[in-house]
Amino acid sequence: MATKHPLPGSERTVEQGSKLIGACDPAEKIEVFVMLRRQQQAQFDALMSRIEAGDPNVQPLSREALAKDYGAAPGDIAKVKAFAAAHGLTVVREDAAARSVLLSGTVAQFQSAFEVRLDKYEHHTAGEFRGRTGAVNVPDDLHDVVEAVLGLDNRPQARPHFRIRPPFSAARTHQASFTPLELASLYQFPQGDGGGQCVGIIELGGGYDPADLKSYFASLGVPAPTVKSVSVDQARNEPTGDPNGPDGEVTLDIEIVGAIVPGATIAVYFAPNSDAGFIDAVSRAVHDTVNKPSVISISWGGPESIWTSQSLAAFNSVLQSAAALGVTVCAASGDSGSSDGAGGGNHVDFPASSPYVLACGGTSLSASGSAITHEVVWNDGPQGGAGGGGVSTAFALPAWQDGLSVVSSAGGKKPLAKRGVPDVAGDASPLTGYTVLVAGMQTVVGGTSAVAPLWAGLIARINAARGASAGFVNPKLYKAAGACNDITQGNNGSFAASAGWDACTGLGSPNGQKVAAAL
């Protein structure tokens, strides 16, 4: 048997507060997701440099061209399959375009194959999970081939970024709510129903009740969109009936997108809440040759600090493929302000912090009739939530953010040194939130998880009107002065709003007509 060595970036520790229950059942069947290197990486990097610079002469790749030229090489897939066979593992699925191989086997077989120990742990918030410590080990002939091995550890990786409005308090007299159509009007979205478009939505738990959707869209006076449920890694649409749980997120996302683009198809990708499940769900959406989403909305995430280097890199590579294909990815920036709910200072949320994502932050909105009267950074305090934002520790400064500055709440100003979050914003405060219907109950919901589908709906409308996908929109938006409503008041904890881009609301909330012109 070949000598094995640690796969760089695969090291894991057990989350503080976790209790060891004991060894996993060696006969338990599990699935593990292996991501492979991209062929012609240098050529692909050159293409991406032009896309990131906003070169108007670069056309998006077709899914077929990406698979053929920049997918996994047949020889690399063959090496992984030979490795699997040598360890008694079954190949469930291979996908050259997504550069992935899904393997199935017992705990004992995977422990032997990757020289890891898998144990059961329990955590007060994460619940019971399968975990590992240390690195994953691979043989020499796979060392340059394999970029990530995911799924050995299935601890929950992300949380949904939505917040239900708390009971009325006399201390908070300013409360309002809006339907997605009212917000589309306030933000001057161009007319249209998104006909011919597909919007992908990523969900890591819960589900939706078709009866809720039917009632909700009827109440708005719009036709119900076509909603498809796509199962990823054995997860599926499984509503719990609890609006405070993942059902609230799933239904919120569908109702916002569906209200704005009722003529579109909505493909909801359900996956397990683990790094493997999350990455596979987005990869399946990006490379989906059946539904072919032109826009993907992600309302889940977690602080960069909780991701392994290999999972960050693997996920970012999938998002890079989306940009190359002309698929716009909108992601919520988080609901816990500049800390992102993590200890030890400032943190940004991933995948919103990926430079290939349109990171969506939060505002608090006041309106009179058909006009916005006041819009500030969403910050309802420690208990009420605040829009996520700050500076990445994982990703370099993108070309389209070069020359920007970040302003602290204390008044200091310094050049932005790495990827700044968010890019844009929209109404997110539960106190000025979205009226939705979940589990038969009308409720008002906020959070940046509402902003990602809001922007996704806008871009789907624009795509339908253009007859082409806007694609990777970041360079164009940063070049287009005035396409967004600049938010200059408020803070999200450590960072303050300022004229132009800031680490609270990015470029600002959308002026849909101007965004359409910019794209």
pLDDT of the residue at 168: 46
Q: Which residue is it, tokens 């742990």?
A: 121
* 487 is known to lie in a ligand binding site: yes
Q: Whole-angstrom Cα distance, residue 457 to residue 358?
A: 13
> Rounded to whole angstroms, how far apart are CA atoms 44 and 157?
29
What's the pLDDT score for residue 244?
80
| CB neighbour class for 413 (10 Å; exposed up to 12, middle 13-18, buried from 19) | exposed
Q: Which of 283, 353, 429, 449 is catalytic?
A: 449
**CB-count exposure of residue 461 (10 Å: 0-12, 13-18, 19+):** buried
Distance, CA of 122 to chain centre: 26
- Cα gap 169→165, rounded to integer Å: 11
Q: Which residues contact 91 (CB under 8 A, 6 or more apart)?
A: 81, 84, 101, 102, 103, 104
Of these residues, 95, 147, 253, 304, which one is catalytic? 253
Cβ count within 10 A of residue 482? 12
Q: Produce one character per residue of 7-41: b if its CB has 16 or more CB atoms within 10 Å, e if not.
A: bebbebebeeebeeeeebeeeeebbbbbbbebbee
Say if residues 501 and 510 touch (Cβ distance below 8 Å): no
Q: Is the dihedral of CA 146, 151, 153, 159 positive or negative?
A: positive
- Is 502 labeled as ligand-binding? yes
Distance between CA atoms of residues 429 and 162, nearest Å: 10
- The Cα–Cα gap between 515 and 330 comes to 15
Q: Which two tokens stand for residue 155?
A: 């601890």
Predicted TM-score (pTM) of the model is 0.96
Residue 137 CB coordination number (10 Å): 18
pLDDT at 164: 63
Q: Which of 31, 247, 249, 275 is catalytic?
A: 249
Tokens representing residue 29 in the block: 């069947």
- Residue spans per domain, the chain: 2-36+71-148, 157-516
Cα separation, 519 vs 514, whole angstroms: 9
Residue 49: what residue type?
Answer: S
> Would the annotation count 164 as a binding residue?
no
Residues 6 or more apart from 78 whose CB is under 8 A from it?
A: none
Per the annotation, the verdict on 335 as an active-site residue is no
Q: Which parts of 238-361 fold into alpha helices (H)?
A: 246-260, 275-286, 309-325
Contact 304, 394 (CB under 8 A): yes
pLDDT recorded at residue 384: 82
Backbone phi, psi, residue 302, to 5°: -160, 160
Q: Measure Cα distances from 443 to 163, 164, 334, 508 in Å.
A: 11, 7, 21, 26
**Sheet of strand 29-36: strand arrangement:** 90-95, 100-106, 29-36, 146-150
With b meaning 16 or more CB within 10 Å and e meaning fewer, what string describes 359-390? bbbbbbbebeeeebeebbbbbbeeebbbbbbb
Sign of CA dihedral 333, 337, 338, 340: negative
- Tell me whether residue 28 is one of the annotated catalytic residues: no
Known active-site residue 253? yes
User: Is residue 426 a contact partner of residue 362, using CB atoms and an 8 Å limit?
Assistant: yes
Which class is 157-516 in CATH? alpha beta
Residue 470 burial (C-beta neighbours within 10 Å; 0-12, 13-18, 19+):
buried
Strand-pair partners of 201: 268, 297
Cα end-to-end span (Å), the chain? 55
CA-closest candidate to residue 331, choices 365, 311, 354, 347: 354
Under DSSP, the state recorded for 506 is B
**Residue owning tokens 């310094």:** 414
C-alpha Rg value of the chain to the nearest Å: 22
Quote the pLDDT of residue 290.
97
Per-residue pLDDT of the chain (519 residues; tens, 9 = 90+): 678 999 999 999 988 888 999 999 999 999 999 999 999 999 999 999 999 999 999 999 999 999 999 999 999 999 999 999 999 999 999 999 999 999 999 999 999 999 999 999 998 877 899 999 999 999 999 989 999 999 999 988 876 766 665 554 444 445 678 999 999 999 999 999 999 999 999 999 999 999 999 999 999 999 999 999 999 999 999 998 888 888 889 999 999 999 999 999 999 999 999 999 999 999 999 999 999 999 999 999 999 999 999 999 999 999 999 999 999 999 999 988 999 888 778 999 999 999 999 999 999 999 998 899 999 999 998 788 899 999 999 999 999 999 999 999 998 999 999 999 999 999 999 999 999 999 898 888 999 999 999 999 999 999 999 999 999 999 999 999 799 999 999 999 999 999 999 999 999 999 999 999 999
Q: 498-514 burial by CB neighbour count: b if 16+ within 10 A, else e?
A: beebbbbbbbbbbbbeb
